[in-house]
Chains A and B, each alone.
Chain A
Amino acid sequence: MAETTTQLKYFKEKHIAYIKDLGEKTDELEYWLSEHLRMNGLYWGLTALALMGSVDTLDRADVIAYVKSCQHTSSGGFGASPSHDAHLLSTLSALQILVILDAVDTVDEAGILRYVRGLQDSTSGAIYGDSYGESDTRFVYIAFQILSILGELNSNHPQFSVEKSVDFIMACANLDGGFGMVPGAESHAAQIFTALGALTISNQMHRVDKDLLSWWLCERQLPCGGLNGRPEKLPDVCYSWWVVSSLAMLGRVHWIDGAKLTEFILEAQDEEAGGIADRKGDQTDVFHTLFGTAGLSLLGYEGLEEINPVYCLPNSVMHRVRQPPATN
Chain B
Amino acid sequence: MIRHGVKRVRTTAEQLALKKKREAIKITEYRGLVDRVNASRAQGCYNLAALDLTTQLLTWNPEYYTIWNYRREIFTEGLFPTLPDLSSSDLATKLDSVQAVLDADLHFIEARLKQSPKCYWIWNHRKWCLGRSPQPNWAREMKLVGMILEYDERNYHGWEYRRYVVRQHEAALIKALDSQSELDAMVKIDQIKSNLLRTEFAYTTKKINKNFSNFSAWHNRAKLMPQLLSNQTSIALSRKKQDEQVTVDPRFSLVHDPLAFLRAEIEFIRQAIFTDPDDQSAWLYHRWLITSPRAICSGPAANLPGALPLLPLGSTLMTHDEEIDMVKCEIESIGELYDYEPDSKWCIYGLIFFNVYLVKTLEGQRAVDFTAEFQEDIRSKLHKLIELDPLRAGQYRDWESSIFSN
Q: Which of B3, B10, B68 lies at the interface centre, i.e. has the most chain A CB atoms within 10 A of its CB?
A: B3
Complex Cα–Cα for A188 and B156 (A)? 9
Complex Cα–Cα for A37 and B119 (A)? 13
Contact residues, B273-304 vs A (CB, 8 A):
280-281, 284-285, 288, 292
Complex Cα–Cα for A257 and B397 (A)? 13
Complex Cα–Cα for A56 and B9 (A)? 31
* Chain A residue nearest to B280 in the complex (CB): A231
A176→B288 contact, CB < 8 A: yes
Contact residues, B338-358 vs A (CB, 8 A):
none
| Inter-chain contacts of A277 with B (CB < 8 A) | 3, 8
| Inter-chain contacts of A233 with B (CB < 8 A) | 154
A174→B219 contact, CB < 8 A: yes
Q: Which of B65, B216, B394 contacts A255, CB < 8 Å? A: B394
Contact residues, A24-54 vs B (CB, 8 A):
27-30, 32-37, 40-41, 44
| Inter-chain contacts of A79 with B (CB < 8 A) | 66
A254→B394 contact, CB < 8 A: yes
| Inter-chain contacts of A288 with B (CB < 8 A) | 2-3
Complex Cα–Cα for A182 and B285 (A)? 20
For the complex, count residues of A whose C-beta is within 8 A of B. 64
**A9 adjacent to chain B (CB < 8 Å):** no
Complex Cα–Cα for A29 and B29 (A)? 10
| Inter-chain contacts of A121 with B (CB < 8 A) | none
| Inter-chain contacts of A252 with B (CB < 8 A) | 394-395, 398
Known contacts being A83-B66, A256-B392, is A285 close to B2, with CB within 8 Å? yes
Known contacts being A132-B69, A132-B128, is A175 close to B284, with CB within 8 Å? yes
- Interface segment out of the listed B18-26, B254-262, B309-317: B18-26
| Inter-chain contacts of A216 with B (CB < 8 A) | 284
A34–chain B nearest beta-carbon distance, Å:
4
Interface string of B188-216 (1 = CB under 8 A from A): 00000000000000000000000001011
Give the total number of A-B pairs whose CB atoms are below 8 A apart. 160
B222→A175 contact, CB < 8 A: yes
Complex Cα–Cα for A255 and B391 (A)? 8
A37→B26 contact, CB < 8 A: no
B393–chain A nearest beta-carbon distance, Å:
8
Known contacts being A188-B156, A215-B395, A281-B7, is A134 close to B124, with CB within 8 Å? yes
Contact residues, A277-316 vs B (CB, 8 A):
277-278, 281-288
Interface string of B374-400 (1 = CB under 8 A from A): 000000000000000011111100100
A186→B66 contact, CB < 8 A: no
* Complex A-B: 14 CB contacts under 8 Å: A27-B23, A36-B66, A85-B65, A85-B69, A132-B69, A134-B127, A175-B284, A188-B156, A218-B392, A219-B392, A232-B281, A254-B398, A270-B8, A283-B6
